[in-house]
Amino acid sequence: MRDFQKPGRSAVYADNGMVATSHPLAAQVAVQLLREGGNALDAAIGAGVLLGLCEPQMTGLGGDAFVLIKPAGEERVVAMNGSGRAPKGLSAAAMRAAGHALVPVYGVEAITLPGAVDAFCRLNADWGRLDMAQVLAPAIAYFDTGVPVAPRVAKDWAEAAHLKDEARRHFLPGGVAPRVGARFALPGQAEVLRRIAREGRAGFYEGEVAEDMVTSLRALGGTHTLEDFAAVACEYTEPVSGTYRGTDLIEHAPNGQGATAILILNILAHFDLAAMDPFGPERTHVEAEATRLAYDARNRIIADADHTTRLAHMLAPETAAKLAALIDPARAIAQVAPLTEAIHKDTILITVVDRDRMAVSLIYSIFHGFGSGMASTRFGIGFQNRGAGFTLAEGHPNEAAGGKRPMHTIIPGMLRRDGRVIMPFGVMGGAYQPCGHARVVSNLVDYGMDLQAALDAPRAFAGLFSGQDGLALETGHAPGVFDALAARGHAVRWSDEALGGAQAIEIGADGVLVGASDPRKDGIALGY
């Protein structure tokens, strides 16, 4: 139980349904849809789409989505990959010939096809109780009339210096980032949503909306075609999982990076974390080293599913054992291979559980803040820059190519124990996400923290965040931890911002739902 004399928040308890996400209006819409007869998937889609207005720097219709679903009355987990492919005309050789060592992060070359809308329409048809018009109705109303800008959103918005041309017109009213409390609307996207409500995916990937996106992209120098958009297709995939001290972590298979979180936990299982101070230097050091080693494996292995050939090796117990043996409790490893793809920190995660105990973890993103910084002319659809997740290394499984999916950082998660799914959850924060998944699981399993405390706890990340390398510590750590980690050889720095965000809902064996929402964002957990 938390200390009620200190600032903080309690976990939320409810019986009938629960949502946890990063903006209060989205949480309210999710509960509204549940009360109107929708299920967890309806609520997650309706609220998730709204977040493209409430947090436009994080997500939008031009982005991708990954979803994990536990159907009502079952304990199996269904995975939906709603990530888009590169346009057929993309060429790594052409980028190398132009002098690029990496895919230009804010270049049109990084703009992959948006997969989220196709996934939402397919999921609604296959699993939803409400039709798409009902699901999208609350979001459409808000997109038309606008919402007041929340504090964390305003902070992120002010840092979006790469917005260009049409994106500036749509996302910078009056030429400046809106202040806290200013009303922001996207009426052009409201019209797009009305077309999706009437026509399904065809209202987005065909006709005037697709023409607007293609014309805009071609004017920017892109190779995108109407045929590319029409061919977008999400797919159901088989999740991957690993067991950490009796708790299963369920993740998306490649092209998602979920296997990285499993590998981190497989490495950490070789250490007695429970005997360490949860916020002390020993635990932080071991976690940092496990993260560095697992991310190096990720960078070598994970790619489009059709090009990932060593996933079994990555998840094998002997791989984790060999990597764990490299960790010296007293000294940081001097050199781990550098990242070969761009990093980001901008994503939304919504999780919902309904009265029938369907559980959904849905993650939806445009990659960097405001994605590519570009948008379509007529409808103002912001384009993601997910293609920056490709490498230009010739022959690499994640080498950029037309029709190929890039390595993806966004990962929804679920936990299962004794055959029962006990928690849909997720940790936003781009590159930080696998480390965040592992840390939340360890907080729960090794230290017995309650759900809200597990999300609140201070974080550390041994990787790129905000474009800076080294071991970043949130300011919740004691100064002595900083010094002890530096003495072990880490390039330690105090993080200049909060590390990611998280949302989670625990499904109790007694039927009670417990929701938690990360204080690093503006959101809440809300039940009824």
Which residues are part of the catalytic machinery?
347
Asked if residue 83 lies in contact with residue 408, where contact means CB atoms within 8 angstroms, the answer is: yes
CB 345 within 8 A of CB 429: yes
Q: Are 255 and 305 in contact (CB under 8 A)?
A: yes
- 301: tokens are 């292995």
Handedness of CA 364, 117, 341, 168 (dihedral sign): negative
Helix (H, G, I), strand (E, B) or coil at 179: coil
Residue showing tokens 């050889």: 489
Q: Which residue has the tokens 């993601």?
A: 384
- Rounded (5°) CA angle 169-172-174: 85
* 515 Rama class: left (phi>0) / alpha (psi -120 to 50) / beta: beta
Structure tokens at 4: 């009620």
Measured distance CA(360)–CA(80) in Å, rounded? 11
Angle, alpha carbons 21-151-159 (nearest 5°): 105
Phi, psi (rounded to 5 degrees) for 315 = -95, -5
d(CA 300, CA 502): 27
Angstrom distance (rounded) from CA 294 to CA 264: 6
Residue partners of 2: CB distance under 8 A and separation at least 6? 8, 10, 450, 452, 453
Q: In what order do the strands lie in the sheet with 471-473?
A: 460-462, 471-473, 492-494
> What CA–CA distance (Å, rounded) separates 359 from 353?
4
Q: How far apart are CA 120 and CA 200, in angstroms?
A: 9
CB-based contact 488:289 (threshold 8 Å)? no
What residue type is assigned to position 461 of the chain?
Answer: F
Q: How far apart are CA 463 and CA 312, in angstroms?
A: 24
Cα(262)–Cα(245) distance, integer angstroms: 12
Residue found by looking up tokens 């997969």 in the block = 115
Let me know how long the chain is: 528
d(CA 78, CA 523): 26
Q: How many Å apart are CA 69 and CA 352, to the nearest integer?
A: 10
Can you tell me whether residue 248 is helix, strand or coil?
strand
